[in-house]
Structure 1
C-alpha cells in the first residue's frame, strides 16, 4: 500500500512540474505573469523547506542524507543541485529545458517519462496497465 501511495504522490508532483514547464513554454505573457505570481512563492518555499532539511549539522554532515553507518558531508547532492539550478544555471548559456532532471528509473518500469501514455494525457497515472481496468 505504501508503494502505491508513494507512486501516486510522485506522479502528482511530476504532473505538476510538467504542467508548469508546459505553461512556461506555451503561455502568453499575461498568463505567465499570473502563474509566476502564484507559483514562484510556492516553489521558493518548497526549495527553502527542502534545503533546511539538508542544512549541515554541527559536524558538517547532512542529517537527511546521512545514515547511521555512512555520513554524508555537506554540501550534499540536494545543495549541489540547488546551486546548479538556482545559481549557476543563471550564469550558464541558456539551453532548451526539456526535462533533463527526470528521474532515472521508475518504480513502474513499463512507464517511460519521455513518452506519454493515454492515462498521462488525461491527468491520471495508471498503476495498472490501461487494458486491465
Structure 2
C-alpha cells in the first residue's frame, strides 16, 4: 500500500511540475504574472523546506543523506543541485569533487536528478498515464 501511495504522490508532483512548465512555455503575459505571483512563493518555500532538511549538522554531515554506515559530508547533492539551478542557472561547469577516494558530481544535470529521485515502478502493477514512460530505462 505504501508503494502505491508513494507512486500516487510522485505522479501528482510530476504532473504539477509539468503543468507549470507548460504554463511557462505557452501562457500569455498576464497569465504568467498571475501564475508567478501564486506559484513562486510556494516553490521557494518548498525549496527552503527541502534545504532545511539537508542543513549540515555539527560534524558537517547532511543528516538526511547520511546513514548509520556512511556519512555524507555537506554540501550534499541536494544543496549542489539547488546551487546549480537557483544560483548558477545551470551554467556552472561540471566539476568533480574527490572525497575519501570517491568521486561526486559537483552539479547534476536536471534529467539525471529527476531519474535518480524516482523510485522504480511498483511491483505487480504497470505504471499508467503519461508518467509511465518515466519508469522506462534511459537509452544510451
Deviations 1:71-91 (A, max 9, x none): 00000000000000000017x
2:85 alignment counterpart: 85
Partners of 2:120 and 2:7 lie apart in 1 by 7
Structure 2 counterpart of 1:107: 120
Q: Deviations over 1:7-29 (max 9, x none)?
A: 00000000000000000000000
Query: Structure 2 stretches of 5 or more lacking a match?
Result: 93-109, 133-140
Deviations 1:56-76 (A, max 9, x none): 000000000000110000000
CA displacement, residues 17-67 of structure 1 (integer Å, 9 cap, x when unaligned): 000000000000000000000000000000000000000000000000000
- C-alpha separation between the residues in 2 aligned to 1:56 and 1:106? 25
Distance 1:14 1:71 in 2: 30
Q: Which structure has more RCO (C-alpha within 8 Å, separation ≥ 6)?
A: 1
Task: Answer yes or no: is the 8 Å Cα contact 1:7–1:107 preserved in 2.
Answer: no
| Number of equivalences | 110
Which moved further from structure 2: 100-109 or 50-59?
Answer: 100-109
Q: Taking structure 2 as the reference length, what is the TM-score of the superposition?
A: 0.70
Question: Alignment partner of 1:22: what SS?
Answer: helix
RMSD: 2.3
